[in-house]
Structure 1
């Protein structure tokens, strides 16, 4: 056994706990949970949780950042897949956003919307996603795959709808989940950019 084995084991356990927090919050939300609840679910001590964050709020914020960071990596990988047309890249991007958000329970998303630090993380990710859609539109226009659309305008419309989705307005008006709303948005955007549109 090497001297680094306990360190590696500790790092692995910490990563396991961090992922466990993310999964718990995604499935159950967090507003109603106490640190005791989280510790019991993860089968660890409250003291262990305090080594990860100084408070429940910090623990939640870190978990939300971790969720969106991992989701963003998977979304970018999907959109960067070889052989995709510009329309397929946008669809892959928004469909993967939808798939990532499908893992989040309505309770989690409601709690995120109600907790300012988490809402800010979601909002920053939404803004970054809208910018990325704008880039994908510009590439599609430049390669002749899309009609000569104003990429900034379309991206702004996408951003506005993404913000409405994030704020739970689309769900309250239409009953669509965040994931379903993103799938509809992908279909509308790609159809509207089509050269035959």
Structure 2
């Protein structure tokens, strides 16, 4: 991420020093990109250059509407005289070393616009992989946390369900036991009262006649 920001800042500063604002494109390493340059063209040659159109910096120079040199290719699209013509620039299998300023140019123009520039920033695969891995790790951690919370909620639900079932099942038994106990208490009271009467009767019968 730091590499990407540094490159972008560097390219913007260079553009400001050149006195112009340029388009900036960002792509990942090993990817492909196609950029459209536009200018009014009237000459016979098309150029694709990196930085400046001098010496080894000239990637493609051709009089054809289509041409390719290794990973670089161009396709010229002629328009009418009242609009800009297009030069489509393609780069395949991008490498970090491809980062920099590119220039599309014609050898002659009607309005003096000799070229169209753009910046390219290629992000290293290690940076992209690290970002992807970090996102996957975060997603996995979030999924694990969610699964744990769901398991805990399920366990709590099962426990509460069992408690409710036990309460519902035990309630009739408790009521029955209480009724049984109440009935036994009443029976015991009646038996005690009868026993008292019987004892009194026995006492009467057992009293000697002389005391009667």
Q: Same fold (TM over 0.5)?
A: no
The answer to which structure has the higher helix fraction is 1
TM-score by length of 1: 0.22
The answer to which structure has the higher strand fraction is 2
